[in-house]
Chain A
Amino acid sequence: MASKKVILVGHFGVGKTSLVRQFVHQKFSDDYLTTIGVKIDKKEMSIEGKSVQLILWDIAGETSSSKIPQSYKLGAHGILYVMDVSRPSTYENLNEQIAELRKILSNVPLICLANKSDLLSPNFRKDLEEKVGDHKLLFTSAKTGENVEVAFESLTKEIMSWT
């Protein structure tokens, strides 16, 4: 079975770990675990009859006191860029952040996830969609489970057609 590395990136506290938990364990939790700035999980998926194993690298968002090694992102086959719909600061510099990612992962499939969609207000939605532009965008909620499975499935499909 083929293994693919998927990285989850985005600002601190946007819900990356909760998304992974919801996807891998089907359970929402508020705990946020970081040790060396990354948490690794895996999940087997079947896409159009083909089995694939996703190795999920949940990379902590950088804070003023922590620097996360760029090398964590190397060799990734797919990127989930996670934002918090209730905090515009988490998507204000989205294009610069994606441009930075593209320097090391040029053609890798990428999906933007607007997480905590259960807290979404119509004003923020419009603003967010403008910011995301041409990138693929999905509204997710790790709390309710909305679109979580869909997000990982869509990315896996893109990875499989890309590789």
Chain B
Amino acid sequence: MPQNGGIEAIKEILFEEENQKYLKLQGRISDFQKKLDDRFDNYQLPDKEVEELISHITEIMPEKLGPAITRTLKIQIENSRDEVVQVLYPIMGQMIKKYVQKEIEILSEKIDAQIQKAFSFSTLLGFIKGVFSKKKKGDEIISDAYGSQIEEIFIIEKDSGLLIASYSKNHLIDQDMISGMLTAIKSFVEDAFDQEGQELETISYDLYKIYLKSFQKFYIATVVSGVFTASYKDKLDTLILKFVEEMTLRAASINKEDYEKGLEDYFKSLE
């Protein structure tokens, strides 16, 4: 018998019991592994159970995590106050400004309506006194206080939408394109409502009002920022009519530069 074979035989005799235990244990582990695999392969969480679980988590989430999230946010905001302000300031500022402007417009219109409605002797007397003491109407005061300002003026050929002349405070926009687009919008609205002789008068855009005044061959578009009250509109109307009258009288000789100089002189008086 070779030497190695002898050792193996002695091992078999000495560890027979352990070997059997080992084989038995290995078999049980394999069975257990198989059972576990089968169970995972075949196991499906019922839809209803999943739904209930999700609904439960959704329910308890605000209660359990809410305070922690709030605390975290508070700490984060506290620690980065400057950054938060920087992000929120323009958005909040615009929102508040827009809201206040709208509210002031409503208030101003109410005051104006009230003034015109109240026509008793005492109010009439008060009004006369006001005229002599140069008191201003409600919306005039508001308009003065909240600074209606002319940003841009365009004189636009009615049919073609081509820009004849313009006055701009900031030169921020492409005036030729704006003239075309305003004419297109005007045509679109007037065509849609199809009312003979009626024309689009104002367009509201964010914090701006675009006031359109039509004449035979052209129209004037005035972009106003701030509160656009009825009295400001009256003033603007008067000025536009005066300007057009003067320009028409000089029409034979004036050119684009004259128009633009005239626009600047006229409308600066409203500022």
Contact = CB atoms under 8 A, between A and B. Distances in A.
A82 B159 CA distance: 22
A55 B181 CA distance: 11
A3 B175 CA distance: 12
B180 interface: yes
Contacts, number: 52
A74 interface: yes
A55 B161 contact: yes
B184 interface: yes
A5 B176 contact: no
A40 B181 contact: yes
Interface string B152-176: 0000011111110000000000101
22 contacts: A3-B163, A36-B188, A40-B161, A40-B177, A40-B180, A40-B181, A42-B174, A42-B176, A55-B161, A55-B176, A55-B180, A57-B161, A57-B184, A69-B188, A71-B191, A72-B184, A72-B187, A74-B159, A74-B160, A75-B157, A75-B161, A77-B160
A120 interface: no
- Among B161, B162, B188, find the residue whose CB has the most chain A CB atoms closer than 10 A: B161
Interface string A74-91: 111100000000000000
Contacts of A70: 191
A72 B190 CA distance: 12
Interface of B: 157-163, 174, 176-177, 180-181, 184-185, 187-188, 190-191
A5 B161 contact: yes
A137 interface: no
A37 B184 CA distance: 9
A108 B162 CA distance: 16
Residue of A5, A37, A71, A74 with most partner-chain B CB within 10 A: A71
Interface string A46-70: 0000000101010000000000011
